[in-house]
């Protein structure tokens, strides 16, 4: 009942009391009428039985059977009389008329026969009245007749002759009872129908507006705030309808204001987003331009200084050139750090995992840093590893470049070790060990902050800007490779990161395995292609200072034309990756190889930072050096190729 609809509740309240009252009244009056019928049947039966007993007195005494049968026929003509009989004092039948006389006699003789009595036999009522021979007395007519009086008469002055039996049928009474019950039920049904119709009519006047209100509230909850209710009721319901309409108007007005605010805010956000995208595009373009355009003069400057250093024999001048070279190295390092952190801030760097041999990256670390370690008198060892890993190759190389560079920078004696080991799960841990100054435990997390440096209060730029480990930390998070550090002050530090293993086997490796070789004249025939004439001149000067024969041009077509007149086959080709007029270093190297039908070694030199370009260059299979390239790196590469 708690969850009934209001219409159901109204109908229940209207019909339930009416139904109960109607049923109770019908039962009450029907039962009263049935009791009246039963009483009337009893009274008629007693009267008929007494009349039969009185009238049959002479016939019993005289033994006149005809008279008795006539009396019985007259008795049977009374309504509801089923049978009648007269028996003597020994329950022997004197005369009988009707059905089931033997049953009548048997039931009548079961008790005191000298009393006026009634025997209830289910469907029959048997009335017994004694047949008495009474001598008339003067006072008999003044006495009221009763059963007790009759008995007294018998005992006083009458003679008991027998019993008059009358069986009255209850069928008519039962029919009347059933008819009254049926009529009562019909009356109750009609009354309930009329009550239901009246309750439905009355209930609709209450439930219809409430249902309309409920439907309106549901529509409002669904967001149709223009929904309204017809305020055509009265009383409290009219007030409720008016209140719902006012609430809907208020909600609609509030939604319009909110929608307008959202539209305004969305417009502002779209404008800000577009402005941010334009700024991001501009920043990306600036970074690409800065990377390529600034690396070119820095690269050529390093080449010219390297060539100058090879030609100077005066110690005083040589010292000055060495200082210039050190400044260039420091400037290149600072420039790369600032450019890397700017790229990360701009969000232009996104990881692109691939499967490759970790040994390719380790070999580059060996080639890159072995000369620097030897210059400082440090031992530098890179343990080979034949595992295949799955991660972004360029980002991993940048992480290891920064870690190894830091290890060499902060180690004054001892050495640096780079190694790999497999850890639990499908991962490999790369570790960089050094015997440097170490890091205090309180600063183990601070070293990953930007511009934070240990032991560089004077801000010596030869020690960098303090961005190397910040870049490592950011790149590690992008690769989901947690960078960890443990250190003991005065003994050294260990930096590590874990990366997932890749395919079990690769078809081959694109990177060349590079090894450092001793100094001396190279005596190589080197082809150089670069569209920047200053860089081209610096490269030629440096190579010639090393004893190389050099053939140079600023485009692929020019170098091909020059080579057609050469009898000597080039030992190596150095080509800028991005050349003018849509040309690139890969196609130039392949064109030169096609001239001689020989796989002439080629090296790509690039100043690009765009990930797509770098991946295309690596996919070519040629080793690549990133501008600005130090003379030592270039020499190490050429010595490896000349092996």
> Following CA atoms 179, 181, 187, 189 in sequence, which dihedral angle do they give, to the nearest 10 degrees?
-120
3-state secondary structure of 84: strand
Average pLDDT of the chain to the nearest whole number: 79
CB–CB of 1/85 below 8 Å?
A: no
Distance (Å, whole) CA 480 – CA 497:
10
Give the pLDDT confidence score for residue 19 in this predicted structure.
82
- What is the per-residue DSSP string for 515-542? -----S----EEEEE-S-HHHHHHHHHH
Which domains, ranges and CATH numbers included, belong to the chain?
Answer: 6-175 (3.30.450.20), 299-348+517-643 (3.40.50.2300), 350-506 (3.30.565.10)
Q: What is the pLDDT of residue 457?
A: 41
The Cα 93–Cα 446 span in angstroms is 134
What pLDDT is recorded for position 417? 94
Q: What is the CA radius of gyration of the chain?
A: 63
| Most confident stretch, 223-237, 504-518, 628-642 | 628-642
The residue that leads in pLDDT, 10 or 403, is: 403
What is the signed CA dihedral for 49, 51, 57, 59, rounded to 10 degrees? Answer: -90
495: closest CA among 421, 408, 403? Answer: 403
The pLDDT tens digits of the residues spanning 25-34 come to: 888 888 888 8
Q: Which helix (H) or strand (E) holds 217?
A: helix 171-221
585-596 and 611-619 helices cross at what angle (nearest 10)?
Answer: 20
CA 186 → CA 180, 200, 562, distances in Å? 10, 21, 124
Yes or no: say if 350 and 385 are a contact pair by the CB < 8 Å rule.
no
Residue 14 has pLDDT above 60, yes or no: yes
Do β-strands 415-423 and 483-488 pair in parallel, antiparallel, or remain unpaired?
unpaired
pLDDT, tens digit (0-9, with 9 covering 90-100), for 369-423: 888 899 889 999 999 998 899 998 888 988 998 899 889 988 999 999 999 998 8
pLDDT at 10 over 60: yes
Give residues with Cβ within 8 angstroms of 163, minimum separation 6. Answer: 53, 86, 87, 91, 108, 113, 128, 129, 130, 131
By CB neighbour count within 10 A (0-12 exposed, 13-18 middle, 19+ buried), where does 226 fall? Answer: exposed
| CB atoms closer than 10 angstroms to residue 344 | 16
pLDDT score of 218: 83
With a CB cutoff of 8 Å and minimum separation 6, the contacts of 487 are 438, 439, 440, 441, 444, 493, 494
- Report for 186-200, 229-243, 299-313, 380-394: range of highest mean pLDDT: 380-394
Answer whether 544's CB lies under 8 Å from 307's CB. yes
Cα–Cα distance, 415 to 243 (Å, whole number): 85
DSSP 292: I
**Gap between the Cα atoms of 561 and 574, Å rounded:** 17
| Confidence grade of residue 344 (pLDDT, cut at 50, 70, 90) | low
Mean of the pLDDT values across residues 227-237?
75
pLDDT in the model for residue 196: 80
How far is Cα of residue 550 from the mean position of the Cα atoms in its chain? 67
Residue 364 pLDDT > 50? yes
Beta strands in 599-638 (DSSP E): 602-606, 624-626
The SS3 of residue 301 is helix
Contact predicate 302/628, CB 8 Å: yes
Q: Which of the residue ranges 208-212, 382-386, 511-515, 608-612 would you say has the lowest mean pLDDT? A: 511-515
pLDDT tens, 590-634?
999 888 888 889 998 887 766 666 677 777 778 888 778 888 778
C-alpha angle 340-342-343 in degrees, rounded to nearest 5? 65
- Quick one: pLDDT at residue 432? 94
Give residue 415's pLDDT: 93
Tokens of 290: 């800065």
End-to-end CA distance of the chain: 98
Tokens representing 261? 């605010």
Q: What's residue 114's pLDDT?
A: 58
pLDDT per residue as tens digits for the range 538-570: 889 888 888 899 999 998 888 888 888 788 899
Q: Taking residues 97-121, report their average pLDDT.
A: 69
In the 8-state DSSP scheme, what is residue 443?
G
Buried-exposed string 292-310: b where 16+ CB fall within 10 A, e elsewhere: beebbebbbbbbbbbbbbb
Burial class (CB in 10 A: 0-12, 13-18, 19+), 279: exposed
H/E run at residue 380: strand 379-382
The Cα–Cα gap between 497 and 298 comes to 32
Output DSSP code: residue 501: B
pLDDT at 34: 80
Residue 155: predicted pLDDT: 42
Per-residue model confidence as pLDDT tens digits over 264-309: 898 889 988 888 878 767 766 666 666 666 666 777 777 777 777 7
pLDDT in tens, 439-464: 888 888 778 877 666 654 444 445 55
Pairing mode of beta strands 388-391, 379-382 = unpaired
CA 283/CA 538 separation, integer angstroms: 30
Span 71-76, mean pLDDT? 87
- The backbone torsions φ and ψ at residue 469, rounded to the nearest 5 degrees and listed phi first, read -75, -30
Percent of the chain with pLDDT over 90: 10
Residue predicted with more confidence, 192 or 574:
574
Question: Do 104 and 86 contact (CB within 8 A), yes or no?
Answer: no
């Amino acid at each position: 009942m708690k969850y009934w609809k209001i219409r159901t509740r109204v109908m229940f309240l209207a019909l339930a009391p009416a139904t109960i009252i109607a049923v109770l009244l019908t039962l009450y009056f029907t039962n009263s009428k049935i009791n009246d019928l039963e009483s009337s049947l009893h009274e008629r039966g007693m009267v008929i039985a007494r009349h039969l007993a009185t009238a049959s007195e002479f016939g019993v005494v005289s033994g006149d059977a005809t008279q008795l049968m006539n009396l019985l026929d007259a008795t049977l003509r009374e309504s509801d009389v089923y049978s009648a009989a007269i028996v003597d004092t020994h329950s022997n039948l004197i005369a009988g008329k009707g059905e089931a006389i033997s049953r009548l006699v048997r039931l009548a003789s079961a008790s005191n026969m000298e009393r006026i009595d009634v025997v209830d036999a289910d469907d029959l009522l048997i009335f017994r009245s004694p047949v008495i021979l009474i001598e008339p007395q003067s006072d008999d007519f003044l006495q009221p007749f009763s059963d007790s009086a009759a008995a007294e008469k018998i005992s006083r002055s009458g003679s008991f002759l027998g019993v008059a039996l009358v069986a009255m049928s209850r069928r008519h009474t039962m029919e009347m009872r059933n008819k009254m019950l049926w009529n009562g039920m019909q009356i109750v049904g009609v009354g309930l129908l009329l009550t239901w119709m009246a309750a439905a009519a009355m209930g609709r006047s209450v439930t219809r507006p409430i249902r309309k209100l409920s439907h309106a509230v549901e529509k409002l909850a669904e967001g149709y705030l223009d929904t309204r209710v017809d305020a055509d009721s009265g009383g409290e319901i009219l007030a409720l309808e008016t209140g719902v309409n006012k609430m809907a108007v208020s909600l609609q007005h509030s939604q319009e204001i909110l929608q307008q605010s959202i539209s305004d805010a969305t417009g502002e956000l779209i404008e800000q987003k577009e402005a941010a995208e334009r700024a991001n595009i501009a920043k990306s373009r600036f970074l690409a331009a800065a990377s390529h355009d600034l690396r070119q003069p820095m690269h050529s400057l390093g080449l010219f200084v390297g060539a100058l250093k090879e030609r100077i024999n005066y110690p005083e001048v040589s010292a000055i050139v060495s200082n210039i070279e050190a400044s260039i190295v420091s400037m290149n390092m600072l420039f790369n750090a600032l450019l890397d952190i700017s790229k990360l801030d701009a969000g232009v760097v996104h990881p692109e995992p691939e499967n490759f041999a970790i040994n390719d990256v380790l070999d580059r670390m060996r080639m890159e840093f072995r000369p620097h370690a030897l210059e400082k008198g440090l031992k530098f060892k890179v343990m080979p590893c034949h595992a295949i890993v799955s991660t972004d190759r360029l980002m991993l190389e940048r992480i290891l470049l920064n870690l190894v560079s830091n290890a060499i920078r902060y180690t004054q004696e001892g050495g640096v070790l780079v190694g790999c080991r497999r850890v639990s799960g499908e991962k490999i841990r790369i570790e960089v060990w050094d015997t440097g100054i170490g890091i205090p435990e309180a600063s183990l997390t601070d070293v990953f902050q930007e511009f934070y440096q240990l032991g560089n209060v004077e801000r010596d730029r030869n020690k960098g800007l303090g961005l190397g480990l910040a870049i490592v930390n950011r790149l590690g998070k992008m690769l989901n490779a947690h960078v960890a550090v443990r250190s003991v002050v005065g003994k050294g530090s260990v930096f590590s990161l874990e990366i997932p293993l890749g395919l079990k086997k690769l078809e081959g490796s694109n990177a060349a395995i590079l090894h450092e070789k001793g100094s001396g004249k190279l005596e190589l025939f080197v082809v150089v292609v670069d569209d920047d004439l200053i860089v081209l001149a610096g490269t030629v000067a440096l190579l010639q200072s090393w004893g190389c024969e050099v053939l140079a041009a600023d485009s692929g077509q020019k170098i091909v034309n020059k080579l057609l007149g050469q009898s000597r086959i080039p030992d190596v080709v150095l080509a800028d990756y991005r050349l003018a007029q849509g040309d690139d270093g890969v196609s130039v190297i392949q064109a030169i190889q096609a001239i001689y039908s020989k796989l002439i070694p080629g090296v790509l030199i690039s100043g690009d930072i765009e990930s797509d370009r770098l991946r295309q260059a690596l996919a070519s299979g040629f080793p690549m050096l990133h501008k600005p390239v130090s003379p030592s790196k270039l020499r190490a590469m050429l010595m490896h190729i000349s092996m």
